[in-house]
Structure 1
Amino acid sequence: MNSPLTVSRRTWLALSAGLGSLLVLASLAVPSSAAAAPRGFEERHADVNGVRLRYLIGGQGSSVVLLHGYTQTSHMWQPLMPLLAQRHTVIVPDLRGAGGSSKPESGYDKKTLAADIHALTSSLGLERVSIVGHDIGLMVAYAYAAQFPQATERVVLMDAFLPGIGNWKDVWLLRDLWHFHFTGEVPLALVKGRERIYFEHFWNDFAADPKRSVPEADRRVYAKAYAQPGGMRAGFEYFKNFERDAQDFAQLSAKRLPMPVLVLTGEKAGGTVLIEQAKAVASDVQGQVVPGVGHWLMEEAPQTVIPAITQFLN
């Protein structure tokens, strides 16, 4: 098992030079914090679209929204947040059902989750934002951009897939991805009190090397967050809504995204699947397969992923 001291996240310090070229100067191992937000960020709550969202906000400049995926919360973005805050206003919410946000019975289709985020940005008076999403968060990011294109500056999609686009069922029905169909009262009863054991499947099996996956300190943060009342049920709802998402995305994709889109995927995870899907729904797509890594891009390849996101958004 990884130690939070020996396997910690890397924070990459970047400076712009010349015409905006990004130079990664150094990396420092920093221990994960279970509670404290990065310096310069404030924790807030907002009642929007019938749900109470917890979010962090900091920095100033053009606005960027960071959306986490399943088994994680807004906490996953901590290594990236201070870097983006140098040039952007950074908004980092917990999705409906996750972390410190409320966990209602319904509303876990990705169009509704995106409407939550749009209501949040609107409440902050933000007319246009760039939006970054990993895993479930990328589905929400796409739904945001597709529903509110005039309010979307740029989009970053990170390693998973888009239900309803192309041969999406080739992923959805993979035998090794049984968790997509592991929903209902019996699964809930089986994982109650064993959230950490269940999540180890994701953190270990979807990494190219489990020793370079989600750090131990972060695993504790996430397991505790999802063990809250309603947390696991809400998480299962993200998967349970994939068929509805597929119908919604098939309709939304009839109009291609006009804004620039960056796709980052892991060679040992999604490969080129998401890149090809993005090209089917957007007109301006940059795709990058990060070699030698799996699904947990922020944790497995920060030296590649953080500069790529920062440069694209800058």
Structure 2
Amino acid sequence: MGIINRIARRLAAALLLAAALQPAAQAADSAPQRRSISANGIELSYLEAGQGAGTPVVLLHGYTETSHMWVPLMKRLGERRVVLAPDLPGAGGSAIPAGGYDKKTLAQDIHAMVRALGYRKVRLVGHDIGLMVAYAYAAQYPDEVENITLMDAFLPGVGDWQKVWLLRDKWHFNFYGDTPEQLVQGRERIYFEHFWNDFAADPAHAMPEADRRLYAAAYARPGRMRAGFEYFHAFPRDAEDFAGFAKTPLAMPMLVVTGEKASGTFLIDQARLVATNVQGVVIRNAGHWLMEEAPADTMAALTQFVDAPSPQ
């Protein structure tokens, strides 16, 4: 009986240890994983997390950032669904195409990635340049998008788009080519500080220092700054494309999240020119960098909308 009791105690201890370790293992499993896939002739790098029967959500980053910006949100959304956060072509770990930086083409690249991964319907979230890609995706494939979120920037070619707050110093729209690239080489962080600081409500509480170092290093890699400049160089083409898209308003639910000290209600008003079912949320005391300046309020709004039941 003594031996049997010792074995029973050891077995019970092992079971307790396994139970204690299970949350840690689950946390490790939920951490976003870096992957890559060839889609539309381009090698795309992306983060993947989550599981569940919910429709996958695709998160699209903006300029001066990469898919890294979405890591905190991925952990929350991944409780019900697969979460995908690609690096846009030209950014992060994705390949640098020779052309195709207009948002219509970038959306086609992301759509090809989604289909290559075996998904059809998705939910979309885009910030800054990413919101333009998200809108172009929904406009081209409306039957494949259950809902869409646009986060603080603007839609080229829609309404009085040249008067948006972010364009008060739009010199960088025309800052591309050999000379700008040479001027910025080795000074990428100095250039990005303009965006991170001037587009924030409070520069001291905007982009964290670790992220500033990470993004500056990512864009300092060969060819990355030139690709980033091309996102802006393509705006005249985007304006033409978006004006055409707007003629057929989107019907799926749309959430617009903006910073009070940045886009304010401008993007919400634009969205109502291109979609029929728009909700608007203005995050108080926040600037352009919503995920960094107001993470709690921003992620609460995004999670509630993305996780909402599918429209019947």
Q: Which has the higher helix share?
A: 2
Task: Show the counterpart of 1:190.
Answer: 183
Q: In the aligned structure 2, how far is the partner of 1:254 from the partner of 1:38?
A: 44
Give the equivalent residue in structure 2 for 1:43: 34
Give percent identity, aligned residues only: 63
Answer whether contact 2:156 2:239 (CA < 8 A) is retained: yes
Query: Counting strand residues as a fraction of each chain, which structure ranks higher?
Result: 1
CA contact (8 A) 1:269 1:294 kept: yes
The alignment partner of 1:207 has SS state of coil
* TM-score, scaled relative to structure 2: 0.87
Alignment of 1:100-119 (within 5 A): 100-119=93-112
Supply the distance in 1 between the matched residues of 2:32 and 2:212 (Cα, whole angstroms): 22
Structure 1 distance, partners of 2:43, 2:166, is 33
**Cα deviations by residue, 1:240-263 (Å, 9 ceiling, x for unpaired):** 000000000011111111100000
CA distance, structure 2, for counterparts of residue 310 and residue 272 of structure 1: 21
Q: Does 1:284 align with 2:277?
A: yes
Answering whether residue 129 of structure 2 is matched by residue 129 of structure 1, we say no
Match of 2:207 among 207, 214, 218: 214
Give the TM-score taking structure 1 as reference length.
0.86
Equivalent residues of 2:30, 2:50 under 8 A apart:
no
Whether 2:254 is the aligned partner of 1:261: answer yes
Counterpart position of 2:229:
236
Conserved? CA contact 2:139–2:250, under 8 Å: yes
> Residue type matched to 1:73 in 2?
T
Deviation at 1:41, TM superposition (A): 2.6
Give the partner amino acid of 2:258.
Answer: T
**Counterpart AA for 2:304:** Q
Structure 1: stretches of 5+ with no match in the other structure: 1-36
Determine the C-alpha separation between the residues in 2 that align with 1:158 and 1:201. 20
Contact 2:96 2:223 in 1 (8 A): yes
- Give the letter for the 2:88 counterpart: L
**Larger relative contact order, structure 1 or 2 (CA cutoff 8 Å, min sep 6):** 1
Q: How many residues align?
A: 278
Classify the secondary structure of the residue corresponding to 2:83.
Answer: strand
Which amino acid is 2:33 matched to?
E
SS at 1:237 equivalent: helix
Cα distance per residue 1:247-292 (max 9 Å; x no partner): 0001111111110000001111111111011000001000111111
Describe the shift of the 1:93–1:173 C-alpha distance in structure 2 as closer, same or farther (beyond 3 A).
closer
Q: Does 1:307 align with 2:276?
A: no
Detail structure 1 runs of 4+ shifted over 3 Å in the superposition: 37-40, 171-175
User: Residue 47 of structure 2 corresponds to which residue in structure 1?
Assistant: 56
Look up the match of 2:85: 92
Q: Which residue of 1 aligns with 2:158?
A: 165
Of residues 142, 149, 155, the one that matches 2:148 is: 155
Gapped runs of 5+ residues in structure 2? 1-27, 308-312
Question: Taking structure 1 as reference, are residues 172 and 263 closer, same or farther at Cα in structure 2, changes over 3 Å only?
Answer: closer
Please identify the structure whose Cα radius of gyration is greater.
2
SS at match of 1:141: helix
